[in-house]
Structure 1
Amino acid sequence: MALDPETFDALLSTVRRFVAERLRPVEERVEREDEVPDEIVREMREMGLFGLSIPEDYGGLGLTMTEEVRVALELGGTTPAFRSTFGTNVGIGSQGLVMAGTDAQKAEWLPRIASGEIVTSFALTEPGAGSDGASVQTKAVRDGDVYRLSGTKRYITNADKASLFTVMARTGGEGARGVSAFLVPADLPGVSVGQPESKMGQQGAHVCDVNFDGTPVPAANRLGEEGEGFKVAMRVLDRGRLHIAAVCVGIAERLIRDAVAYAAERRQFGKPIADFQLIQAMIADSKTETMAAKALVIEAARLKDAGEPITMEAAAAKYFASETVGRVADRAVQIYGGAGYIADYGIERLYRDVRLFRIYEGTSQIQQLVIAREVMKRGG
């Protein structure tokens, strides 16, 4: 159920101020220290950001998809590492539980996920399985009342902070129908987390390997029936891709604002570079593509709230928005010129940060395949 307009507008206003007054001023610190400050995380919890998509019955805000993407647009006004701090709780780390969990599982975990007491993580990718999620080799072997979980997951967001993993593991034969989903507490025996990887961008948002060595996962922690894990994962990714697309649009809007402000101040040949038509062309292209991406996101969110299937629409939004923000960031560096290549201005940081959006939660090439498959399935 949607929030009443006045309450939701107040939430948007609060998030907008939080981004401008608390997050943007510490962007350089996060980049330098590769860590989001504890006081910022505490404020995020108090604002309810960890529970944006968790139902109200379990202590969350229970936002509709349309409301969630509008919040994500605001969060795009700063480095995406801040959103990643609670992003797994809002998206891929919690939505399997929301969509497929039993009443007992939801009651046990969702209130603590919504409050931020628990950080969740989504463990699908492996050394030999990324885009081909149906080929996961991590095994879950039934042993009485537990499953013995063994295998390695790679590039798992927030793994070093997670108290709960949603893990995709093979319980049956090859292919998607042999994959099941499990809720795996991080303190179970045999769970170990590697050191955070050194990355191109998004410093402060950590990804790590996660290893399971005969970890005894209670059978009661399985999400859905055996063999339903891949289906759960794909439903989770539909929603996650739409959220990511909204963040991409928000960052593109921030980059455009910054580039326009710089172009109005920077003078060459006796006048602001904003007066030159080739600069204006880059701004026009960036604005047009960003408006189109935003329209895709808002329409897909509307369809989701109407109960329509959005596999194609979410893929299209994520594909177009992530490619768009990459082009917008590239043009912003060009408009800034030499200053765009210097760390002091922050543009080169965002240029590096946005590159990941075309890779995680499904590469652009996977989105193309999903879109084409859905178009043909729907008969064009």
Structure 2
Amino acid sequence: MVDFRLGDEHEELRVSVRQFAQEQVAPVIAEHYEKKTFPYEIVRQMGKMGLFGLPFPEEFGGMGGDYFALCLALEELARVDSSVAVTLEAAVSLGAMPIFRYGTAEQKERWLPRLTTGEALAAFGLTEPGTGSDAGGTTTRAVLDERTGEWVINGTKAFITNSGTDLTCLVTVMAATGVHEDGSKELSTIIVPSGTPGFTVAPGYSKVGWCASDTHELFFDDVRVPAANLLGARGRGLAQFLRILDEGRIAIAALSVGLAQGCVDESVTYARNRTAFGKPISGHQAVQFLIADMDLRAHVARLGYYDAASRMLAGDDFKRYAAIAKLNASNAAMENSRWATQVHGGYGFMNESAVGRFYRDAKILEVGEGTSEVQRMLIARGLGL
């Protein structure tokens, strides 16, 4: 029998994160968003709750859970705020996961205990100013200096989440380390600790949304790190990052569902309390239908990421299903934020309102970790087209 209901452990986690989001995040996040400040106190609390260690084994300081548990936490956080949710998503699925998946025993021992407890954050250095979706077009270069046994890195990365906080301890950088026999670039990934000479973090971007998350451009000017900082096999960097992105798309789908559901939550509450033409607007069929469609989108999108996560955890090929989940959920988030703003009228256009923030946050979900166009490309490839 197919059963989409959560088991006891997952449901307990969902409820606890929901309570945390409502009681600890909701009262303070609007001020962080307005001032564009990073919510360190919230991050510390999430660390104490074990959220940064959800999918990692206990031997590395993790909670011994699974990737689906992380997705549930992301959904519940995003029902209240996406900046906090993407901070967790990027720290776990993009920051710590590459080290867990591909790191040596020494690398795992050095970095994971702090990353899984939230004491430190790691960033994922893939995107560049001139490449965007074309990850294979990476221009950042790393040359191995045989005399010193060091990688010398030069290049620029753009739009990198969690890369400039006081907690950031490293950035995993994809760089061209040579050329294959067929003339294509040999791409590898290298760990660059924060504070390494020549590694510069630019001032934070002025963003439309995710205003309480940390995002920077990064510069590497003859940055030297030990040869042992190579993450995984040389020349396997692109394959590693693509696998990490496949997983991350499920996480972004969960985050998108949270935002879509948050739009439903806020609209139901507002419609019940807002009076127009002599009765609450919840009594007007036009408003009812808008909210009903919003609930439909959130529910269907949730089933999509549940399915993708279950395939991933079962060890099945999940790439196409992750793309489907991400594409559908980001569309749902964008549509729901639009119509939630409509339900709220002028109040929905105010940054102090949750739906005003949702509206600003939703668009990046159709861009980050693979644009909607890339998702359609992956789906088509999965169909053999």
Task: Report the TM-score range of the alignment, normalised by the length of the smaller protein.
Answer: over 0.9
Contact 1:53 1:91 in 2 (8 A): no
Contact 1:191 1:212 in 2 (8 A): yes
Residue number in structure 2 paired with 1:166? 172
Q: Matches of 1:337 and 1:291 in 2, distance apart?
A: 24
Measured after TM superposition, the shift of residue 9 of structure 1 is 4.0
Superposed, 1:140-155 pairs within 5 Å as 140-144=142-146, 145-155=149-159
Identity across matched positions, percent: 37
Superposed, 1:67-106 pairs within 5 Å as 67-106=69-108
Q: Matches of 1:38 and 1:317 in 2, distance apart?
A: 30
Superposed, 1:361-372 pairs within 5 Å as 361-372=369-380
Q: List per-residue Cα deviations over 1:197-236 (Å, max 9, x = no partner).
A: 0000111112111111111121111112221000000010
Choose which of 58, 63, 66 in structure 1 pairs with 2:65. Answer: 63
Contact 2:201 2:218 in 1 (8 A): yes
Structure 1: runs of 5+ lacking an equivalent: none
Q: Matches of 1:58 and 1:27 in 2, distance apart?
A: 31
Residue number in structure 2 paired with 1:354? 362
Q: List per-residue Cα deviations over 1:99-124 (Å, max 9, x = no partner).
A: 11111211111111112222100011
TM-score of the two chains, using structure 2 as the length reference:
0.93
Name which of structure 1's ranges 301-310 and 86-95 shifts more when overlaid on structure 2.
Answer: 86-95
Q: Matches of 2:26 and 2:358 in 1, distance apart?
A: 12
Measured after TM superposition, the shift of residue 17 of structure 1 is 1.3
Superposed, 1:77-226 pairs within 5 Å as 77-144=79-146, 145-161=149-165, 162-173=168-179, 178-226=186-234
Superposed, 1:190-339 pairs within 5 Å as 190-339=198-347
Structure 1 residue matching 2:171: 3-state secondary structure: strand
Measured after TM superposition, the shift of residue 165 of structure 1 is 0.6
Measured after TM superposition, the shift of residue 31 of structure 1 is 1.2
Contact 1:134 1:176 in 2 (8 A): no
Contact 1:53 1:63 in 2 (8 A): yes
Q: Matches of 1:216 and 1:59 in 2, distance apart?
A: 29
Measured after TM superposition, the shift of residue 334 of structure 1 is 0.8
Letter in 2 for 1:225: A
Q: List per-residue Cα deviations over 1:14-73 (Å, max 9, x = no partner).
A: 212110100001121111221234322221221112222222210011321222222222
Contact 1:86 1:119 in 2 (8 A): no
Choose which of 312, 332, 343 in structure 1 pairs with 2:351. Answer: 343
Aligned residues: 374
Structure 2: runs of 5+ lacking an equivalent: 1-5
Contact 1:92 1:236 in 2 (8 A): yes
Contact 2:51 2:73 in 1 (8 A): no
Name which of structure 1's ranges 278-287 and 175-184 shifts more when overlaid on structure 2.
Answer: 175-184
Residue number in structure 1 paired with 2:3? none
Q: Matches of 1:172 and 1:237 in 2, distance apart?
A: 23
Name which of structure 1's ranges 128-137 and 98-107 shifts more when overlaid on structure 2.
Answer: 98-107
Q: List per-residue Cα deviations over 1:287-325 (Å, max 9, x = no partner).
A: 111111011100111111101121111111111100111
Superposed, 1:42-61 pairs within 5 Å as 42-61=44-63
Letter in 2 for 1:42: R
